[in-house]
A and B are shown apart, each in its own frame.
Chain A
Amino acid sequence: MIVLEKRRQPSRHWMLAAPVLAVLLTMVVGGAMFAALGVAPLEAIRTIFWDPLFDPQFAAYSRPQLLVKAGPLILIAIGLSLGFRAGIWNIGAEGQYIMGAICGAAAGLAVYPSASVLVFPLMVVAGALGGWAWAMIPAFFKTRFGTNEILVSLMLVYVAESILASVSSGLLRNPEGRGFPGSRNLSQWDAAANRELIAGTGLHWGVVAAFIAVILAYILLTRHIQGFNIRLSGEAPRAARFAGVNPARVVIFCLGTAGALAGLAGLFEVAGPAGQISIDFNSGYGFTAIIVAFLGRLHPVGILLAGLLMALTYIGGELAQLMLGLPGASIQLFQGMLLFFLLGVDVLTNYRLRLGRGEKA
């Protein structure tokens, strides 16, 4: 019988090889699925993983799009990873993302059509505050009453969606939009637009913020006392308390940071790629970011890579739908498989496979 034996230290070798193995396994199983759907498996795999990066017809456009898609995922995931490390389960980033977008857009639209250079910074601050405030609701209840943050943050996603539907057909509705729901288009208003910073790269302020967040999170976790407190709270809550870590402060810090970053992601999205507040503005970044955070093993650099990989499967998946007529559902299933394999083979990093009974160790 094969048993798992814990390694003394995670295997560096497998840490690098495991994701590669997972991708290969996904290609084999996913290829079989595509073949069952009547599409040449190699072509499907190539379309998903290769074409967005190197196809002469699409790559010039879709390569920069990787950053556009990965930016918000990384930004949100970095915030979430802090909380997850401390054992704080904020699964309502989607709601914080929505509120960031609404508050940021509202702040901007309040001064429409000002051309001041301060408009965009004002929106950025409002967006971060909006997300932060939304995350402070579960943080307040958790620290004050011990209310479970999973539930409160999740329920607040639905509340945020209601608010979104309400403001896009009410408060923030474009007065020149002939009664249709949806705000003015911010990306067409110079002072408020979150533009591509270097043409042809997809790099906008949200992507820049994501990179900065990766670096700051890395410094925080490796060099800063607050990072140590966070890790200690998650790994050994009792020890943390003895070491004088104030749990309430950790909760407020982690939820607040996650909320602010998710809010920023929402603001950069609404002022840039999405352009406007609309009923269906949110498209699941807040939930996908949870996956990204864990795929990246809650490590800033890992999250960066995981975000790019997720973005690749989205864009490649779209191309596969377009070029090969694969149903959207098969792409979803393919992503799920990839995730399962990545998570499954991860065991090899921390454990060794051995034949026989490994009860001792």
Chain B
Amino acid sequence: MLRRTLLATAALALAAGGALAQDDPVKAGFIYVGPIGDGGWTYEHDQARLALEEHFGDQVETVYQESVPEGADAVRAITQMALSGADIIFTTSFGYMDPTMEVAAKFPDVKFEHATGYKRSDNVGTYSARFYEGRAVQGLIAGRMTETNKVGYIASFPIPEVIRGINSAYIHAKKENPDVEFSVVWAYTWFDPAKEADAARALIENGADVILQHTDSTAPQAAAQEAGNVITFGQASDMAEYAPSPRVSSIIDNWAPYYIDRVQAVIDGTWESDDTWDGIGPGMVGIGEISSAVPEDVKADALALKDSIASGEYHPFTGPLNRQDGSVWLEEGEVADDETLLGMDFYVEGLTGEIPN
């Protein structure tokens, strides 16, 4: 175990160095899965990194590495970041879960924050956002605004995160409009502008006049604009350049408050591993401005829904709700537990089609 010893020594030396020089800035590292210029997921993490620098000034130094493939390369990227003296490292994709755990075991004095995962240890915390809360607001607007009663949904991969979004949007669209139908296209990509544009066109040609997307590019927005009479929602970032129409609102990933909070904890020496799953309330999920293309009453209802979710008064997955096969999932008034939500692999009643696999 020569390597382990070497690493441990290096880590100790760094930790000692850090303790000696209290005035050294805290070094926060970020591992990104895509290029910063993806305009979506990675872009928003980097915006939060910049906000962090702004907030702390000289107290904090940040480093990042973009387009890190998940797997072996991730282990190396994270290790090198730890070796370079990072005090806290944010690994911002689900696929970094095992690599983060592996590296964290070798660097007990470095703090790790893994996004969207579920494995934790003394120096690994996790964080994620309840995007489905934002989907509920989108669903309400979609249900009220659609004239064809067809809502198109561009999905990426059949994973719980995406399925939660579809269910949440559908439940709240259906509440407003019992005739609404969802058609889901699985693009099998997070980011492929050309394919996303094609998917949006296919949905529009099949009669959808509302497009929801769980992929990161603005291509569907452009396709909707071209078609006219179709509304869309920004995903991950505000996509305000397509407002007021077709983009009528958006879900914004706002990681800045969390990052500032966690780095502050490192500075104060109060950082502890925990599991954060925040939604609209704490500001991790932002709802982009509802544009003038939405009628006032719809906007008012949407904002009311947003507020009741934010205050904790209402949970988007509240019974009675059945599974797609008609079996009971939640009784009247019952609220879904996080465990089920985290592993959600079923549609709710009313959705047609099957989840792949």
What is the interface of chain A, defined by CB distance below 8 A to chain B?
57-58, 60-62, 64-65, 68-69, 162, 165-166, 169-171, 173, 178-182, 185, 188, 196, 199-200, 269, 272-276, 278-281, 283-284, 315, 318-319, 321-323, 325, 327-329
Contact = CB atoms under 8 A, between A and B. Distances in A.
Interface string B36-76: 10000000000000000000000000011111011111011
A169 B357 contact: yes
Contact of B72 (A57, A68, A182): A68
Contacts of B158: 169
B229 to A, nearest CB: 34
A280 B70 contact: yes
A46 B144 CA distance: 60
A169 B157 contact: yes
B95 interface: yes
Contacts of A272: 72
Nearest to A55: B83
B159 to A, nearest CB: 5
Enumerate the 7 nearest inter-chain pairs by beta-carbon distance, A residue then B residue, closest first. Answer: A273-B72, A170-B357, A274-B71, A179-B343, A283-B69, A200-B3, A200-B2
A61 B159 contact: no
B81 interface: yes
B314 interface: no
B356 A169 contact: yes
A234 to B, nearest CB: 33
Contacts, number: 123
A61 B7 contact: yes
Nearest to B68: A318
B35 A329 contact: yes
**Range of interface residues on B (Cβ < 8 Å):** 35 or more
A188 to B, nearest CB: 8
Nearest to A173: B357
A185 B72 CA distance: 12
A58 B65 contact: no
Nearest to B93: A280
Given A169-B157, A328-B65, 19 more contacts: A58-B80, A61-B80, A65-B76, A68-B76, A179-B159, A180-B94, A180-B118, A199-B1, A200-B6, A272-B72, A275-B98, A279-B95, A283-B69, A283-B71, A318-B65, A322-B65, A323-B84, A328-B35, A328-B66
Most buried by A among B4, B67, B71, B81: B71
A322 B356 contact: no
Given A196-B3, A273-B75, A318-B65, A166 B70 contact: no
A162 B188 CA distance: 8
B157 A279 contact: yes
Contacts of A329: 35
Most buried by B among A61, A65, A170: A61
Most buried by B among A199, A274, A318: A274
B176 interface: no
A318 B157 contact: no
Contacts of B344: 179
Contacts of B65: 318, 321-322, 328
B66 A322 contact: no
B319 interface: no
Given A60-B10, A280-B70, A315 B157 contact: no
A75 to B, nearest CB: 14
B251 interface: no
Contacts of B356: 166, 169-170
Contacts of A162: 188
B248 interface: no
A271 B35 CA distance: 27
Contacts of B70: 278, 280-281
A280 B10 contact: no
A273 B71 contact: yes
A61 B98 contact: no
Contact of A318 (B77, B343, B357): B77
A279 B3 CA distance: 30
Nearest to B116: A180
A169 to B, nearest CB: 5
Interface string B4-33: 101100100000000000000000000000
